[in-house]
Amino acid sequence: MNWLELSVVVDGEAAEAVAEALRPFAHGGVAIEQVGGQLPSLADDWSVEVAGPVVYAVRIYLPDDEAASVTLCRAEEAIWHLGQLYPMPAPQVRRVAEEDWTEAWKAHFSITRVARRLVIVPAWREYTPQAEDVVIILDPGMAFGTGLHPTTQMCLSALEDLLRPGMHVLDLGTGSGILAVAAAKLGAAAVLALDTDSVAVTAARANVAANHVEPIVRVEAGSLDLAGAGTWDLILVNILAPVIIRFLEAGLAARLRPGGVLVAAGIIADQAPAVIEALAAAGLALSEQRQINDWITLIAARPGGQAPNPFLRYRSG
């Protein structure tokens, strides 16, 4: 199948708004990739100084079929309306063959060490692990989540800090399944990975199988309603600020056991106050704020019980 890629290059303030505007038209979710300024890398204080202006490419993909022209027109119209409130360039559109898309990823997706132990290894590369390495074999396909984006990096590092063996983990918006696989390999007893997009579900299931964690990780098509009435020790939500807020309003906090922890990521810096307010309104206590460039990750706990890591340091950007 051939695909159409629609992209808009904007600054950090506009990136999330553009992503929300394009989301209804996307097949497989919305990608936000830093394309200008210093590329992110993990730092001890979770703050990275930026050399030069930071800009982001917001991208969606849709099948190049008979409905494509109508969908593109609607997406471009949505960006035009948004541009009346905040100046931005016109969207760029190009055709991409699926095999070309895959090969383009392979060209720049290299072995990546995240935090102390986690190592992301593309399925087509060879790697000899060191003694303490926790290796995640990954082929994202057309799903999002490779470990290259700062939000995913911060989530993975938070998993290293927070996850204790035997925990039950919920991964909302799993994408490629990278966080679910990492949780399983770090010792989770059970992981439920949910995504509303069929491309993501297929990719996540393949990555779960490639990492031999099928007995631990269950991948399903769906959203918060599939989490059931039980509670979880750790919930991961690496999506966008408005979606996180909607989940909190829909009762996400009640899915945490007392003392359980929520890791909320995919948040542009100027959207963080709204998410922090929603966390407080849901009865969760903010314990950490991590930051790389314009991206914020918030860690909050449900009062009661024992926190997963009593030695957790407070880090802020």
Angle between helices 272-281 and 241-249 (to 10 degrees): 10
Q: Give the type of residue at 181.
A: V
Classify residue 129: in a domain, yes or no: no
pLDDT tens for each residue of 289-313: 999 877 899 999 999 866 554 333 3
Give me the torsion for CA of 300, 186, 218, 259, rounded to 10°: -30
Name the residue range of residue 293's domain: 143-301
Bridge partners of 63, per DSSP, are 3
Q: Which CATH number belongs to the domain containing residue 277 in this structure?
A: 3.40.50.150
Q: Are residues 75 and 150 in the same domain?
A: no
Beta strand extents in 128-284 (DSSP E only): 134-138, 168-172, 190-195, 217-221, 232-238, 256-268
Boundary (domain end) residue, out of 79, 105, 131: 105
> Given CA atoms 209, 212, 214, 217 in this order, what sign does their dihedral have?
negative
**Structural domain total, the chain:** 2
Confidence (pTM): 0.74
Q: Does 33 share its domain with 160? A: no
Ramachandran region of residue 80, left (φ > 0), alpha (ψ -120 to 50) or beta? Answer: alpha
Specify burial of residue 229 (Cβ count, 10 A radius: 0-12, 13-18, 19+). Answer: exposed
**Residue at which a domain ends, from 105, 135, 162:** 105
Summarised one tens digit per residue, pLDDT across range 198-257 is: 888 998 999 999 999 999 999 999 999 888 777 999 999 998 888 999 999 999 999 999
List Cβ<8 Å contacts ≥24 apart for 108-114. 109/140, 109/146, 109/148, 112/147, 112/148, 114/42, 114/147, 114/153, 114/156, 114/157
**124 in any annotated domain:** no
99 lies in the same domain as 157: no
Name, in order, each residue with C-beta under 8 angstroms of 220's C-beta and a sequence gap of 6 or more: 192, 193, 194, 201, 226
Is 162 in a helix, a strand, or coil? helix
Q: Which structure tokens are listed for 221?
A: 């098509």
Tens of pLDDT, residues 97-152: 766 666 655 665 678 888 788 998 888 888 888 889 999 998 876 666 667 677 88
Let me know whether 289 and 206 are in one domain: yes
